[in-house]
A and B are shown apart, each in its own frame.
Chain A
Amino acid sequence: MWAVRFEDVSKRFRHGGPRYSSLRQDLADVHRRVTARLRRRRAEPQGTLALDQVSFEVEAGDSVALIGANGAGKSTALRLVSRITTPTRGRVRVRGRVGALIEVGSGVHPELSGRENVWLYGSILGIPRREIASRFDEIVSFADLEPVIDTQVKYYSSGMQLRLGFAIAAHLEPDVFVVDEALAVGDASFQAKCVERMTSMVTSGRTLIFVSHSLPIVQELCPTAVLLDRGRVAAAGPTAGVVAEYVDRLADSVRREPSPGDLLEISRLNARSPAGDHRLKTNGTLVLEVDLTAAQDLDDVLFGVALSDGRLSNLIELNTRFTVGATPIRRGRHRLVCEVPSLPLLPGTYEVWFAASSARKAVHFLHPRVIGTVVVTTGPPERRLAAHYATSTAFGPVYVPFEMALEQHDGAPAAAGGPMTVDAHEQSG
């Protein structure tokens, strides 16, 4: 039996995205439509289609991931299920109470105290008063805000505000549970708590719809997945297959946004394993193939490829400056092949930056920009796929194998030799 059903759902945003208009602008729009009607033609609908005739079903008790690139329509789908917005065409049917674990934090009211906010938000999210009363302490301790619960929220740090909003939402007991990626809120221990909470909801048989870019956590939590691509359902079914489809699309596609003055043009990026597929492993080999076309002969080109996880600086810089130095390139088409024997990145999605510059002059033949994506799907075997490291921004994305040992230095005989796991609570003191 289904719990959520999308029936031919389309959603169009009027002005290309959420924003408000002025009366003047809309009067102009009315004029446009009236003149179109007078000429006996239908006005072209304006705005952008976030979802385009989307149909899928979520079984009761199942947990389903919505995956896809930015702007694919994932968040819009969640907003429809949680009734925040309504479809332009088609309908969404839901059986049971929907709860959304989204960050209501930014809607927390600054002038009210933490305590007042718990009551206000609890009731807005549909938690009955006696339930809030009985779970109040639990919510406050989940958010870790006991000492400041009677302080006005405007004196909270932004992290505290988000934790408060999340803690309230996390204590809903809905039939259908809707979670947006915004889960990456707060510090690592708070994230771990949220994931734990989600996992327990899933195991207790609730329906989960989960939006995430984090493929490891999707694979861990959701047996089924739906891939959205520019507002359409591109694949649906068991997660492994859908994720593979997504990774194939990501790893073998190039973003073409040439900037003026570029003498090189990129036509294809393929991030693959030596076997030729797109399933990359932590500490496995990465092969990057970049197909490019030179507009003219150039005699001193430095190629730079960099991987980034979206933070300000790059994680890994691969530059011919460090190896073969300046390379000449003739007019025409070329393939640049770059091999990293052991890629020290944990599972995740990484941006590929590319640039080409002159070795002698401060000139770019191709200005630095993101040309595509590398997806690491499989983590190191010695680290079980614990959900918290996959979502956490507190842990870095770089992984290196290591050993750690504890030696006693006050004269007493050392414990049995060899590497050991360190547990700070047991070993200290």
Chain B
Amino acid sequence: MTRADADVASAPPSVRSELVIEGTHRVRAGRSLADLWHYREVLRSFTSRTIRLKYKQALLGVSWAVLQPLAFLALFVIFFGRLAGVSGGGVPYAAFALSALVPWQFVANGLSFGTNALVQDAALIRKVYFPRELPVLGAVAATLVDLLIGVAVFLAVGPFIGAHLGVALLYIPLVTVTLTISVTALCIPLAALNVYYRDFRYALPLLIQLGLFASPVAYPVSSIPEQWRTLYALLNPFVGSLEGFRRVLALDQAPDWGLLGLSLVSALVVLVVGYRVFKGLEPEFSDVI
């Protein structure tokens, strides 16, 4: 097909690069990451939109980020602290529990927002191209804001409930990064599977509830028998970071490097496998969503 008009040639469109669209199921990490970088502005838009939407019509607004862990704290103090007599390992039980509840809330909200992120943006996915990872990453990033608020609240109330605040607080960025990696690693395959099977939407709240008890939030890691701890930290990628938060926020200790390393390894395995799942399902997202 050639157009006869010669004047068209005088204004050729700028041709930057050739794009090949094909239905490959192979993961090309380099190409995907380059694409993500190219669309980084969109990630920012998704994040800020999710933050706005979260609190726009909520009467109590951002204070929900504070109220959620505090409500759990009351529950935990009564049931585990008083009735079950779980020890706080050197600090009052309230400080002990809250220091892990704050990051746990991030895990719970991040998983639930992240898993539903693609389905929430179905209308967009059907109409526009953007790297499909972005809504998921945006949801996790938006939840991260809640974590920062939670940590700030902990720093404010910590002294009154007996937390030892000290130099170990400098580790906060590190444990935040490792926890975020774990949450993202799980969200990516779950969000993709949720596009295909809405079963995940119903299963997820249950899994999160179970996860709370499978993680060292209400109880210390030390209550797990020594010989099982390695397996525990490998199977649950949140263990190392949650325990890390507790030591850093409440006990003024450095994270347990062994546990943190194991959880990080576990998270990276989940990330690699999960990303393959995501990429394998991605070509048909817009057809089935």
| Interface mask (B213-251 → A, CB under 8 Å = 1, otherwise 0) | 000000000000000000000000000000000000000
Task: Report the minimal beta-carbon distance from A165 to chain B, rounded to whole angstroms.
Answer: 9
| Beta-carbon contact of A56 and B1 below 8 Å | yes
A408 to chain B, nearest CB (A): 48
Closest 10 CB pairs of A and B: A205-B11, A83-B129, A107-B123, A175-B13, A61-B8, A91-B22, A86-B283, A86-B23, A92-B21, A123-B45
**CB<8 Å pairs between A and B, sample of 6:** A3-B15, A96-B14, A112-B53, A116-B52, A124-B130, A224-B1
Residues of B within 8 A of A128 (CB): 41
CB 8 Å contact bits of A95-126 with B (1 = contact, 0 = none): 11110101110110101100010011001111
Contact, CB under 8 Å: A124 / B42 = yes
Question: Does B60 lie at the interface of the complex (its beta carbon under 8 Å from any beta carbon of A)?
Answer: no
Q: A92-B21, A94-B19 are in contact. Are A20 and B286 (CB under 8 A)?
A: no
Tell me if B3 counts as interface (CB < 8 A to partner A): yes
With both chains docked as a complex, state the minimum distance between the C-beta of A200 and any C-beta of chain B, in angstroms: 13
Q: Which of B17, B127, B197 contacts A21 (CB 8 A)?
A: B197
> In the bound complex, what is the Cα–Cα distance between A59 and B4 (angstroms)?
11
Q: Are B288 and A60 in contact (CB under 8 A)?
A: no
Residues in B with CB closer than 8 Å to A90 are 22
- Of the listed stretches A11-19, A347-355, A372-380, chain B binds A11-19
Min CB distance, B69 to chain A, in Å? 25
Contacts of A175 in B (CB 8 A): 13-15
Q: Is A307 an interface residue (CB 8 A)?
A: no
Also in contact, A14 and B8, with CB within 8 A (given A20-B196, A119-B45, A224-B3): no
**Cβ 8 A contact of A82, one of B11, B41, B52, B129:** B129
Interface size, chain A (Cβ < 8 Å): 68
Contact mask A225-260 → B, CB, 8 Å, 1/0? 000000000001100000000000000000000000
Residue A88 lies at the interface, judged by CB distance under 8 Å to chain B: yes
**Number of contacting residues on B, CB 8 A?**
52
Cα A104 to Cα B127 in complex, Å, equals: 6
Which residues of A sit under 8 angstroms from B21, Cβ to Cβ? Answer: 80-81, 83, 86-87, 91-94
Q: B20 an interface residue at 8 Å Cβ cutoff?
A: yes
Any B CB within 8 A of the CB of A428: no
Give, as a whole number of angstroms, the nearest-CB distance from B228 to chain A.
32
In the assembled complex, the Cα of A124 lies from the Cα of B16 at a distance in Å of 19
User: What is the 8 Å Cβ interface bit string for chain B, positions 1-45, against chain A (1 contact, 0 not)?
Assistant: 111110011111111111111111000000000000001011011
B139 to nearest A CB, angstroms? Answer: 14
**With a CB–CB cut-off of 8 A, which chain A residues contact B126?**
18, 84, 107
Q: How far is the CA of A95 from the CA of B39 in the complex (A)?
A: 18
Q: State A206–B14 Cα separation when bound (angstroms).
A: 10
Q: Tell whether B82 is near chain A: CB-to-CB under 8 Å.
A: no
Give min CB distance, B238 to chain A, whole Å. Answer: 26
Contact residues of B between 38 and 59, Cβ < 8 Å to A = 39, 41-42, 44-45, 49, 52-53, 56-57
Q: Does B153 contact A (CB under 8 A)?
A: no
Return B63 CB to nearest CB of chain A, in Å: 19
B23 touches A20 (CB 8 A): no
User: A26-64 toward B: CB 8 Å interface, digit per residue (1/0)?
Assistant: 100000000000000000000000000000111111101
The reply to whether B1 and A64 contact each other, CB–CB distance below 8 Å, is: yes
